[in-house]
Structure 1
Amino acid sequence: MNPGTWSTGFCDCFSDVTNCCITCWCPCITFGQISEIVDKGAVSCGASGALYLLLEVLTGCGCMYSCFYRTKIRKQYNLPESPCGDCLLHFCCEWCALCQEYRELKHRGYDMSIGWQANMENQNQGIGIAPEVQGGMTR
């Protein structure tokens, strides 16, 4: 995987059918899992998912909250803002955006089902997570 490129395409939702279905029926679950990993455990999956659900139920604009996490992922992994702006992607196709972000974190070695703390424990035991790379090699 090259730094600076998404591991999967924006519309590759069906490459992970299970996550695609969960995101379609209950996007708050996928968002909660993403946010816990991106925030490095500072906020739990349940709390983030509940806030997303509350915003979605009250305003219909959970996408305005979730688009900021796409920006965080892009900055963490030096990914391009493509095919268009983060908030526009989330507004036009929230499910595709969440699925792509979920797949990106999964491809980077995170087990999305166990949360941040368990991923760190696995990493400390030498299981599962590849080291985070901040850029290419230089001379």
Structure 2
Amino acid sequence: MYSSNPSAPQKYADAPPPGQAPVMGVPVNTYQPQAAPFQVQSSAPVPWSTGLCDCSDDVGNCCITCCCPCITFGQIAEIVDRGATSCAASGGLYTLINLLTGCGFLYSCFYRSKMRRQYKLEESCCGDCMVHCCCEPCALCQEYRELKHQGFDLSIGWQGNVDQRTQGVMTATAPVSQGGMNR
């Protein structure tokens, strides 16, 4: 199988180099588990589905965001946090920070960064914090539209989306025992 001359070409392309024993044994399991639900598997950053100022597609949400950004922010935060915080808690905290400091954008830019990492979205040239500082309503509307593009219905929250996506999927349950033996 191998030539005694190390510079001679090998008969088989996948054969080990001269002087090295062929690899034998049990094949290695190369199974890669599927990603958790609601995760993107792409490694290269992808562009946002809409631009920062593309509010013409969703005028209703833009009006709500301009009048009361805490509602839109709360909906975004609940989805991005995967239900760990509620819409009301996130929106309330956002409002409190805005009332006390006027810097609610610092809290919301954190969620923009988290969302970008989750969905492998491109970062703008000026950064997440500057986008929220300069145009908070536009940034929140863009994030809302992106989550809708990802397939979420923000009006029903995280659990509603999970229930909607798993509807019809049977879950395994343990069999019910019929009591002890009877005579």
TM-score normalised by structure 1 residue count = 0.87
Please name the residue that 1:26 is paired with.
Answer: 68
Please name the residue that 2:141 is paired with.
Answer: 99
Aligned counterparts of 1:121 and 1:92: Cα–Cα separation in 2: 37
Deviation readout 1:16-40 (Å, 9 max, x if unpaired): 0000000000000000000000000
SS in 2 for 1:114: helix
Q: Highest Rg: 1 or 2?
A: 2
1:9 pairs, out of 51, 63, 78, with 51
Aligned counterparts of 2:80 and 2:125: Cα–Cα separation in 1: 21
Aligned counterparts of 1:84 and 1:75: Cα–Cα separation in 2: 17
Q: Which structure's residues are more often helix, by fraction?
A: 1
SS in 2 for 1:113: helix
What letter matches 1:61 in structure 2? C
Please name the residue that 1:47 is paired with.
Answer: 89
What letter matches 1:73 in structure 2? M
Cα deviation for residue 15 of structure 1 reads 1.7
Q: Flag the structure with more relative contact order, 1 or 2, with Cα contacts below 8 A and sequence separation at least 6.
A: 1
Alignment coverage as a number of residue pairs? 126
SS in 1 for 2:123: coil
Please name the residue that 1:123 is paired with.
Answer: 165
TM-score normalised by structure 2 residue count = 0.66
Aligned counterparts of 2:90 and 2:56: Cα–Cα separation in 1: 25
Give me the identity figure in percent: 70
Please name the residue that 2:104 is paired with.
Answer: 62
